Amino acid sequence: MLHTIMNIEAAGTLFVVAAPSGAGKSTLVNALLERESAISLSVSHTTRPPRPGEMYGRHYYFVEREEFEREVAEGVFLEHAEVHGNLYGTSRTTVQGLLAQGRDVLLEIDWQGAEQIRRSKPDCVSVFILPPSRAELERRLRGRGSDAPEVIERRLRNSRGEIAHAHEFDYVLVNDVFDDALADLQAIVRAVRLRSALQWQRHEALIAELLAPGS
């Protein structure tokens, strides 16, 4: 019994976080990663041009569309999707390598990618982040100052279609007061790590001691 549970739970947990553009997903995820060092963030490939300050290999692997499409054909991606007119994809080998080492991995991807991941990795834990209002979403997108006005308009137009998929996620949180939303996100990660099968594996020696016959 113990052996079976251990085999099933040997790999790390795959977290999937999605949100409409400007909801605060990257800010929340970066703050989470400062607090929970045992999670690795998957760096996606994208055909979107870099924003000022974005670095190759840190924020994204920025590639040409032709290269991206070749990689799709080669099966490089665990999931990929077209979002706001650009292609985005998650590297299969990177994610599977980290999970096999027992690391937790977090994907910051859109709802279409989340749908694909749910199909191939049904054990994943998915979180959707909502903004507190449409006006605040618009204010954050404009206030971030990273996108051209027409890009912002397109992202705002697309936000309804994305939010309509929020119910497909395991958890939904509202990023109103930042520290509250961060505490919610951290609570989700912590609760997942406390699931009994994982704890059974982690505390094998303790459980063996507690169950040992004797005085």
* Binding positions for ligand 5GP, rule: CB under 6 A: 27, 140, 143-144, 178
Residue 113, Cβ neighbours under 10 Å: how many? 23
Tokens 């992202």 belong to 155
Q: Which stretch binds ligand ADP (CB under 6 A): 25-33, 35-43, 116-124, 197-205?
A: 25-33
- DSSP for 56-97, please give it: BTTTBEE--HHHHHHHHHTT-EEEEEEETTEEEEEEHHHHHH
- Minimum distance from residue 62 beta carbon to ligand GDP (Å): 11
Q: Closest residue to ligand GDP, Cβ-based?
A: 113
Is 21 known to sit in a ligand binding site? yes
The item of ligand GDP, ligand ADP, ligand 5GP, none sharing an interface with residue 175, based on CB under 5 to 8 Å by kind, is: ligand ADP
Angstrom distances, CA of residue 121 to CA of 11, 33, 113, 130, 179: 12, 22, 12, 24, 30
Which residue from 26, 30, 67, 28 is spatially nearest to 46, judged by alpha carbons? 67
Binding-site residue ranges: 19-26
- Interface ranges with ligand GDP (CB under 6 A): 18, 21, 25-26, 44, 48, 79, 81, 83-84, 88-90, 108-110, 112-113
- Interface ranges with ligand ADP (CB under 6 A): 19, 21-27, 140, 143-144, 175, 178, 181
Binding-site residue ranges for ATP: 19-26
